[in-house]
Each structure stands twice: as structure tokens, then as C-alpha cells.
Amino acid sequence: MEETPHEVRTFRTGNEEETRDLAARLSRLLVPGDVLLLAGELGTGKTCFVKGLAEGLGVQEKVLSPTFTLLREYRGRVPLYHLDAYRLKGPEDLFDLGLEEYLGGEGILAVEWGDRVRGFFKEEYLEVEISFAGETDERRIRLLPGGSSWERRLRRLDGGDP
Ligand SMILES: Nc1ncnc2c1ncn2[C@@H]1O[C@H](COP(=O)(O)OP(=O)(O)OP(=O)(O)O)[C@@H](O)[C@H]1O
Ligand SMILES: [Mg+2]
């Protein structure tokens, strides 16, 4: 069995609202320049998680799936950039997007299918891995810190599995 580093935090949600709540709580730990990579099969709740981040960041606009637009920008306390890497072949596709503009700056970048483009991100990131669990509305959400700052910050998040 794959060994799980203890820094990984695992949560279970029973419906969409609980997933949004978890994301909203996580949003309080975010600082400008942060990158979140969202992984998980179709329909697990990646967009739902970003909706919760947006709520937590005080975004008023409705968050839509960025599948066809690739990148959407929302105005909250800090800007939220929402990218969908579903149609990208790999990290190299991100270089063509001029994404540097969104990195290490004022905003938070959340990337659906982010595990496909992980190699693009040189700085720290948090990986959010969502999977189906048990009954139809249950999800397992693992938060995997990519860097020591995220290890520290995740300790401030209450709840989750022991
Ligand atoms: N516990 C849960 N957490 C999140 N979403 C849930 C949960 N239970 C049920 N759902 C439903 O699952 C769906 C998740 O859709 P969402 O668009 O967020 O997934 P996605 O991972 O972004 O999909 P895609 O890969 O197509 O982008 C929604 O219809 C939501 O209502
Ligand atoms: Mg989605």
C-alpha cells in the first residue's frame, strides 16, 4: 500500500455544501500568489470546491466551470483565477498561455485537472484530490501540501480524519 505522509489531511463530505464549506475554511489560509491544483475524476466536485473558495474570498459573481473558456477571473478580497487544464496535454501547454502573469502575484490560482500540469509549477502549491467515496454524494478530499509552508498552514485547519 502507498505510504501517506502524515502531513496529508483527509476529509469526508456528505454533500456539495460540505465540500464548499471545507473550501471556504481553507480559503482563510490563502495568501496572494497561492496555487491550488485540483485533481479528481469527472464530476467529483472540483468546480464545487472552487465555488467554496470563491465564497470564502468574498467573490460576488457566480462561479462557472471554465472548461470552455480555460481561464476565468473573479474579483474577491484578492483576485481568484480559475483555470481548467482538462484540454491541455501537459505542462508545456501552460507556457503558451502566458500564465506567468497570474503567478506569484496578487491573486490565487485554482487549477482543475491540475495534476496534469503539476510539472509547470516550480513554486509551492497545495494539491486537492477529490474522489468518490461510498454513497453517491460522499467524497473523500485529501489536501496534500507541496512545500513546507503548506504543511504548516494545514495544521491550522480543524476537522478531518485522524
Ligand atoms: N460531497 C460532494 N461534494 C461535491 N459535489 C458533490 C458532492 N455530492 C454530490 N455532488 C455533486 O457532484 C457534482 C460535482 O460537479 P463539479 O462540476 O463540481 O465536478 P468537477 O469535478 O468540477 O467536474 P468536471 O471534471 O466535469 O470539471 C455536482 O453536481 C454536485 O452537486
Ligand atoms: Mg469542473
Q: How far apart are CA 85 and CA 28, in angstroms?
A: 25
- Non-local CB neighbours of 73 within 8 Å, separated by 6+ positions: 79, 80, 81, 82, 107
What's the 110 CA to ligand 2 centre distance in angstroms?
A: 11
Whole-prediction pTM: 0.94
Is residue 151 within 6 Å of ligand 1 at its C-beta? no
Q: What's the whole-number average pLDDT of the chain?
A: 91
What's the 155 CA to ligand 2 centre distance in angstroms?
A: 27
Query: What is the number of the ligand 1 atom nearest to the C-alpha of 13?
Result: 1
- Non-local CB neighbours of 44 within 8 Å, separated by 6+ positions: 130, 131, 132, 139
Residues bordering ligand 2, an ion, CB closer than 5 Å? 46-47, 65, 112
Which of 22, 41, 42, 48 to probe ligand 1 with, by most ligand atoms within 8 A of CB?
48
Q: How far apart are CA 129 and CA 139, in angstroms?
A: 10
One of 3.40.30.10, 3.40.109.10, 3.40.50.300, 3.60.15.10 is the CATH number of 15-154, namely 3.40.50.300
Task: Tell me the domain boundaries of the chain.
Answer: 15-154
Q: Which ligand is nearest to the CA of 46?
A: 1
Tell me the per-residue pLDDT of 109-155, one tens digit each, with 9 for 90 and over.
Answer: 999 999 999 999 888 999 999 999 988 999 999 999 999 999 999 99
Region of poorest pLDDT, from 37-46, 91-100, 126-135: 91-100
Q: How far apart are CA 73 and CA 101, in angstroms?
A: 12
pLDDT score of 4 more than 60 = no
**Which grid coordinates belong to 134?**
461510498
| Whole-number percent of the chain with pLDDT over 70 | 96
What's the 16 CA to ligand 1 centre distance in angstroms?
A: 7
Strands (E), 113-162: 125-132, 139-146
| pLDDT for the residue 90 | 86
| pLDDT for the residue 91 | 86
Q: How far apart are CA 64 and CA 149, in angstroms?
A: 30
